[in-house]
Structure 1
């Protein structure tokens, strides 16, 4: 492999790893938002049932 090819391969690996980290963080945020929305809906139903 030439030096240019090695550098290009290293850059591709770094890009792939950073993309994975962003995806994992995004999924974590989405999951947390879904949990919060579910809890809020549960509270709304509970309040409506108590009226």
Structure 2
């Protein structure tokens, strides 16, 4: 039972880390898109 609990906690920790990484990547991509949009608006 303790092995199962340790595995579940480790899996939970990895999942939280992955979610934060993916969220950060999404924010970076969004900011990059906004920069491109702003550049295109200035070039009009």
Query: Could you state the TM-score of these two structures normalised by the residue count of structure 1?
Result: 0.73
The correspondence for 2:2, drawn from 5, 12, 15, is 5
RMSD of aligned alpha carbons: 1.1
Q: CA deviation at 1:5?
A: 2.7
Query: Residue 21 of structure 1 corresponds to which residue in structure 2?
Result: 18
In the alignment, structure 1 segments of 5+ residues that lack a partner are none
The TM-score normalised by the length of structure 2 is 0.81
- Structure of larger gyration radius: 1
Report the count of equivalent residues.
44
